[in-house]
Amino acid sequence: MSEREVTKTEKSTDGEIVAISGPWGTRRRSGALVDILHEQHEYFVSAPDGRRRVLIVETDDGKRLRTEPDLTKPDPLQGLPDVG
């Protein structure tokens, strides 16, 4: 399994992460979900408090990407700049 740092995201108009990007390229959410589920790649975000893994969370609307839960801080994945 390779490790991939996420440095940018693409978000929908409602703020949902639809793609992640880094020095390795860009991956749509569906591809990143497959990568994580099949343990092909581990995605992470560098945050001030350390490295945070990108995980899959289940919501009423389906599977979403977010960093490891930390209720005291906002999700660093949401705070990344947009692709392009």
Q: What is the pLDDT of residues 19-42, one digit of tens each?
A: 999 999 999 999 999 999 999 999
Tell me if the pTM is above 0.75: yes
Compute CA distances 16 → 2, 31, 38, 39, 59, whole Å: 25, 15, 22, 23, 12
Q: How many CB atoms lie within 10 A of CB 72?
A: 5
- Sequence-distant (6+) residues with CB within 8 A of 15 are 78
The residue-averaged pLDDT of 14-20 equals: 92
